[in-house]
Amino acid sequence: MVLSYWLFLTGVIFLAGALFSRFIVTGPSGADVCVIEGGKRCFGETASVVIFLSALFTFVFNLIHLVFHASVMTETPLTGVFPILPIFLVKTKYGQLILIRTILLLPLIIVAFLTIRRPRLWLALSGIALSFSIVVTLSISGHQGVNGYFNLPVVTDTLHITAAAPWIGGIFFIRLCYSFLLKAGGRDLWGVFPDLINRFSNLATYCVYVAGVTGIVLVFFRVKDFEVLTGTT
């Protein structure tokens, strides 16, 4: 169950970082229209395929996590958990959040697929909105959401995760899809590299500021006694 959740979480963070970085960083820098040497695709087309596959990957592990989590929470064997899934999704708070994630992931997959065929501004904005909506569900499904969703701890945790997603997800996205710019074979494309790095550095800086400040605030909510930090091993 833990592995499936972490794989789902990895996919969510990657998607949010990839979609936001593409809109703010790689697209405006001109990297997306550069053609990979020896190939017919440009970087933007390859990145779109990666995002689409990541959305599928995330959707699958979301469903796997649903099955395992329902089995553990209801103390039902995996072989008998499927008949109770509708009740789990409707009657439990966590099940409702998983249902919301699933509903958000389905149009995100469609948006990612359509972007491969024909990129459009509304598709980019829709993808960002959907991916960050899923990120928000990560916060409200945690310990901060026990006492309701509209309170300072939940808002702070949401800002913390939302800030971390473009930073961490963006790093892996750029490394995976645009690393050719760093290689000798991409020497002719180095002209766009400084702008790409500067744009992402600015984005990452703001994200780190927000994540750092909200992280400090969350310490005061989560750590009731600071002796816990020094008195435990």
* Cα angle: 139, vertex 144, 150; to 5 degrees: 85
Residues of the chain under the 70 pLDDT cut: 1, 36-40, 142-150, 180-190, 224-233
Query: Are the C-beta atoms of 195 and 30 separated by less than 8 Å?
Result: yes
* Cα gap 65→174, rounded to integer Å: 28
Question: What global pTM score does this model have?
Answer: 0.86
Q: In the prediction, which pLDDT does 131 show?
A: 94
Q: What is the pLDDT of residues 203-217, one digit of tens each?
A: 999 999 999 999 888
State residue 228's pLDDT score: 56
Phi and psi at residue 34, to the nearest 5°? -75, 135
Dihedral, CA atoms, 92, 128, 174, 114, nearest 10 degrees?
A: 100
* Phi, psi of 212, deg, nearest 5: -65, -45
